[in-house]
Structure 1
Amino acid sequence: MEQRERSDHGPAADWLVELAQRHRLSPTQRQIVQRMLGMFPDVAFRSTVEIAELTGVSQPTVARLAAALGFAGFPEFRAALRDVVLAGPPAGPADPDRHGSGAIAIDQERANLASLRRVIDGDRMGAAVRLLAATAPLGVVGLRASAALAQYFSYFARRVLPSVHTLTDAAGIDDAVLQLQQEGASALLVFAMPRYPAATVAAIRQARGLGLATIVVADTALLPFADDVDVLLVVPVGTGLVFDSHAAVVVLAINLLDAIANIDPERTQRRLEAHEALVGRWAYEE
């Protein structure tokens, strides 16, 4: 990404970043926004063809960005961009700590973490803990962008729970969910970050059809498949950079696991001590 000039056009660039954060953009669209940050003030006076050439994408992709940002078309978006370049954004308190999209993204994560407290202290969290603590085995689903979240949760869950299955392969998800049910599972934990894979939704619906409770961690309460979810834990993701940041989701996952572990503290202690006995075999000590 080109480095943005530190000049009096900084507030206008911040306006573009904040506008992008208010909308759900694809990684390609976010990349265009980031490259545009290094093109101020000229970017406000360029055509879609010129911006496409400078950002390395097609002209229709630039036009679709304008629509994704809530404008009727690129001309309307460019007119708004010109207004903020020439006149500045609406009056507001200056924030000297906001030096570009990275700093703004950190500010957004702080807000996301602050909102997480309501989720952790809420009734849905308690319901999720009870359901997940009672199931054996425990299945943890995470496909595509959510695969790393499922693996992270499962890695630590195996320290305190007797049987944890990580489901990250869309091709075998149907068989895996059926196997869980046949082995006696009563609940399924699903990480569903945008964009939502069709196989994730199918797994949730299959689980409910088999009688499993579905606990879903997602970024919004307005899921198109919310009716198929028994317990929904809403955790916002960071959208200030090219790819989503799951910082708040990771914090939620560890809090969820901590609460599950506290349901049966004696079992947790036994399993943690057994794990500690193995640490010497793999931990590096100089």
Structure 2
Amino acid sequence: MNDEPETIAERLQSSFDDLTRAERQLADSLLTSYPVSGLGSITQVAKAAAVSTPTVVRMVQKLGFTGFPDFQSALRRELEARISDPITKRDTWVEKAPDAHILNRFTDAVMGNIRQTLTQLDPDMFDRACAMLAELDHSVLVVGGRITRSLADYFFMHMQVLRPDVTHIQSMSNAWVHYLLDIQPGDVVVIFDVRRYENATLRLAEMAREKGARIILFTDQWRSPVHEFSDCTFCGRIAVPSAWDSTVTLMLILEAVIAEVQEHTWDSSRQRMEDLEDMFDRTRFFRKFT
């Protein structure tokens, strides 16, 4: 069982409806440049949100902390987790690892990640993202990072079958700015970015937003800085007993998105899929056992 606690960002999001107007204002301020935005003094945090210091105290207590120092300690632990390198992450897991076999421990962690991720996922946002991707009068661009490029490639391949005008930004080299030239207002840029967040990806999101593009972000529980520019953000929990993070939860959401976009576009995507199968047959791309 994955007993990793919720992040403060997740606590803020899940309790948002129960907060007062001033507390919601504070929550919005904290989620901007999170988690660094909460690491100043209580006076600085209150001033940045244009609220009183008692409001800060009341809200952190609503989140389950004894006070502001306890709240900041949790933030610092999150920040340490975000920036830790693979070797440090593995050492932490090894120290805490139970005696059970790695297959059991890893599976328990992944299942816990899935449960907690789905608990936090907003169905309305999911539907909105799928509808955006099904708008055939707007282009879709897909970009991943060092680790998430495989997710981007997988998503691109399926989107390319389901609809036209899909572009895969395959490398975040200096040439990535070329892809911005043809972005039109309303186009959709799908970005994959998990910790250790990439500077080029953030800059791409910022510049695409300036051109009127809408952004769908797939990230981790700590949320990439790209979240500041995104219209829809999917946060998948990624921590597992390994030096590497797991992308299983993101893949689950991704495949659900693909399935829903297929339903939205079925009238046209069915013909595209039939045409593709015909080309596979003509080129004998796949071996047939008949």
- Normalised TM-score (structure 2): 0.63
2:202 aligned residue: 201
Cα separation, partners in 2 of 1:109 and 1:185, compared to 1, 3 Å: same
Give yes or no for contact 1:221–1:232 (8 Å, CA) kept in 2: no
Q: Distance in 2 between matches of 1:235 and 1:30?
A: 18
1:261 aligned residue: 262
Aligned residue runs from structure 1 range 4-153, under 5 A: 23-24=81-82, 25-33=84-92, 99-118=100-119, 122-134=123-135, 136-153=138-155
Q: Distance in 2 between matches of 1:269 and 1:118?
A: 33
Q: Distance in 1 between matches of 2:90 and 2:116?
A: 27
Q: Distance in 2 between matches of 1:23 and 1:154?
A: 30
- What SS does structure 1 have at the residue aligned with 2:217? strand
Q: Distance in 1 between matches of 2:154 and 2:255?
A: 9
Aligned residues: 209
- What SS does structure 2 have at the residue aligned with 1:151? helix
Deviations 1:173-196 (A, max 9, x none): 2211333x15x7611111112211
2:180 aligned residue: 177
Cα separation, partners in 2 of 1:153 and 1:168, compared to 1, 3 Å: same
Cα separation, partners in 2 of 1:227 and 1:36, compared to 1, 3 Å: closer
Q: Distance in 1 between matches of 2:275 and 2:121?
A: 29
Cα separation, partners in 2 of 1:139 and 1:103, compared to 1, 3 Å: same
Q: Distance in 2 between matches of 1:254 and 1:218?
A: 15
- Aligned residue identity for 1:131: M
Q: Any unmatched runs of 5+ in structure 2? A: 4-76
**Ranges of 4+ aligned residues in structure 1 off by more than 6 Å:** 34-38
Once the 2 structures are TM-superposed, how far is the Cα of residue 144 of structure 1 from its aligned partner? 1.1
2:219 aligned residue: 218
Give yes or no for contact 1:237–1:246 (8 Å, CA) kept in 2: yes
- Aligned residue identity for 1:149: L
Cα separation, partners in 2 of 1:111 and 1:34, compared to 1, 3 Å: closer
Once the 2 structures are TM-superposed, how far is the Cα of residue 258 of structure 1 from its aligned partner? 1.2
- What SS does structure 2 have at the residue aligned with 1:139? strand
- Normalised TM-score (structure 1): 0.64
Q: Greater CA radius of gyration, 1 or 2? A: 1
- Aligned residue identity for 1:177: L
Once the 2 structures are TM-superposed, how far is the Cα of residue 269 of structure 1 from its aligned partner? 1.1
Using the aligned pairs only, state the percent identity.
19
When the two chains are superposed, the root-mean-square deviation of aligned CA atoms in Å is 3.0
Q: Any unmatched runs of 5+ in structure 1? A: 1-14, 39-94
